[in-house]
């Protein structure tokens, strides 16, 4: 709350919404001195109002999880381009969001580092020129641990990301590699390739942020230090290239770039994501919701680390896919999956 109030005082926005409505009085109090006062809204509706507000031409959607879906749709309906940092929106509802983008003639500028890399590599590649996407993955907190040790790892272990500084949810998603699995689905909806044409490669140095192969087998990569400011800047400045004072990439300092195949035994979440993507319809929404619940259960010490893929797999197994779902079908699948993911827990917790 203190940080939020400080940001409001620094940037002086016209309008502000806070999702947790119960925190509105404290926020009001914290910015009481500010003059002029911003319009203050609360709750999910408030967030949607802000997403569609005024004459902003681009809306950055950075809400974590499926909570970003309805605000994103509100921004699209208001005709605003999106700088998408909230991958869950496209994963859960790509089949609804993509037609909406067309209808309202708005575009998505990816702010996820891998998808920004792919988008940057595609500048100048003609329609039909793309053959394959190679998503790079750091391997997360446990890339150098043997699979046998994963049953014992703690929350603190899982939160130690080797290269990127990020929020708790995405750091756990990196440790399970579900983050990369979700990004495969995101890439499918953003760039229109089949799942067979999207590959994951472990690249521990996180210098190459992803690659594309074009029809003549030429491979294009985007490189840079691991720094989220760059994909965000490009999403906001596209198609321009703004000068920055940031440190240049130094290949000699990088010295060695290595690659290896991800271990499916160690990272079962990857396969679960591919399977959900291929099942299509409401299944990616179910995968995403089950993952959100599973990560929360892990972070609150109610399941062990290896319980995360189990919760997701059991939830997905119980779901009956609706093909070509409406937005309401997706929201219902999301609710169903959140409820179900909590109920598949009992047999797990009795084991531990």
Distance CA 220, CA 318 (A): 40
In this chain, which stretch among 4-12, 106-114, 228-236, 270-278 interacts with Mg ion, using CB under 5 A? 106-114
Q: Closest distance between Mg ion and the C-beta of residue 196, in Å?
A: 21
Tell me the residue number closest to Mg ion, measured at CB: 112
Neighbours of 311 (CB within 10 A): 24
Distance CA 106, CA 83 (A): 11
Q: Are 156 and 244 in contact (CB under 8 A)?
A: no
Q: Closest distance between Mg ion and the C-beta of residue 102, in Å?
A: 25
- The answer to the question of residue 112 lying near Mg ion (CB under 5 A) is yes
Q: Closest distance between Mg ion and the C-beta of residue 299, in Å?
A: 20
- Hey, is 222 helix, strand or coil? strand
Pairing of strands 81-84, 58-61: parallel
Is 114 or 334 the residue whose CB approaches Mg ion more closely? 114
Is 159 or 322 the residue whose CB approaches Mg ion more closely? 159
Distance CA 319, CA 39 (A): 42
Among positions 283-312, residues that touch Mg ion (CB under 5 A) are none
Strands (E), the chain: 15-18, 39-42, 58-61, 81-84, 108-110, 130-137, 198-202, 208-214, 219-223
Is 114 or 296 the residue whose CB approaches Mg ion more closely? 114
Site string (60-99) toward Mg ion, x via CB under 5 A: ----------------------------------------
In this chain, which stretch among 1-9, 113-121, 160-168, 189-197 interacts with Mg ion, using CB under 5 A? 113-121
Distance CA 84, CA 63 (A): 10
SS3 content of the chain, % helix, strand, coil (to 5): 50, 15, 35
Q: Count of residues binding Mg ion (CB under 5 A)?
A: 3
Q: Closest distance between Mg ion and the C-beta of residue 62, in Å?
A: 13
Q: Are 203 and 259 in contact (CB under 8 A)?
A: yes
Q: Closest distance between Mg ion and the C-beta of residue 216, in Å?
A: 28
Q: Using CB under 5 A, which of 114, 296, 313, 329 touches Mg ion?
A: 114
Residue 321, judged by CB atoms within 10 A of its CB (0-12, 13-18, 19+), counts as middle
In this chain, which stretch among 90-98, 111-119, 138-146, 186-194 interacts with Mg ion, using CB under 5 A? 111-119
Is 171 or 282 the residue whose CB approaches Mg ion more closely? 171
Is 140 or 304 the residue whose CB approaches Mg ion more closely? 140
Is 57 or 165 the residue whose CB approaches Mg ion more closely? 165
Q: Closest distance between Mg ion and the C-beta of residue 120, in Å?
A: 14
Q: Are 127 and 223 in contact (CB under 8 A)?
A: no
Is 262 or 325 the residue whose CB approaches Mg ion more closely? 262
Distance CA 147, CA 143 (A): 9
Q: What are the residues binding Mg ion (CB under 5 A)?
A: 112-114
């Amino acid at each position: 709350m203190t940080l939020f109030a400080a940001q409001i005082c620094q940037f002086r926005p016209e309008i502000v919404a806070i999702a947790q409505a119960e925190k509105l009085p404290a926020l009001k109090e914290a910015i009481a001195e500010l003059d002029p006062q911003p319009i203050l809204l609360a709750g999910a509706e408030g967030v949607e109002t802000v997403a569609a507000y005024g004459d902003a031409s681009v809306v950055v959607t950075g809400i974590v999880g499926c909570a970003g879906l309805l605000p994103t749709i509100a921004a699209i309906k208001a005709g605003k381009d999106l700088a998408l940092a909230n991958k869950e929106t496209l994963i859960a509802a790509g089949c609804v969001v993509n037609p909406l983008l067309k209808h309202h003639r708005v575009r998505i500028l990816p702010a996820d580092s891998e998808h920004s890399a792919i988008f940057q590599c595609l500048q100048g590649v003609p329609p039909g020129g793309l053959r394959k996407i190679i998503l790079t993955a750091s391997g997360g907190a446990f890339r150098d641990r043997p699979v046998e040790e994963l049953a014992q790892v703690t929350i603190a272990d899982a939160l130690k990301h080797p290269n990127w500084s990020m929020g708790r949810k995405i750091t756990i998603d990196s440790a399970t590699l579900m983050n990369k699995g979700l990004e495969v689905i995101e890439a499918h909806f953003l760039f229109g390739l089949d799942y067979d044409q999207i590959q994951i490669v472990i690249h521990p140095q996180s210098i190459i942020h992803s690659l594309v192969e074009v029809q003549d087998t030429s491979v294009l990569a985007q490189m840079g230090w691991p720094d989220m400011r760059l994909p965000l800047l490009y999403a906001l400045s596209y198609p321009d290239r703004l000068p920055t004072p940031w440190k240049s990439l130094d290949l000699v300092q990088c010295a060695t770039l290595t690659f290896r195949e991800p271990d499916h035994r160690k990272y079962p979440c990857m396969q679960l994501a591919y399977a959900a993507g291929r099942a299509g319809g409401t299944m990616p929404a179910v995968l995403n919701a089950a993952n959100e619940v599973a990560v929360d259960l892990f972070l609150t010490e109610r399941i062990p680390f290896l319980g995360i893929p189990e919760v997701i797999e059991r939830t997905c197994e119980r779901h009956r896919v609706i093909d070509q779902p409406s937005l309401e079908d997706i929201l219902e699948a999301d609710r169903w999956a959140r409820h179900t993911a909590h109920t598949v827990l009992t047999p797990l917790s009795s084991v531990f």
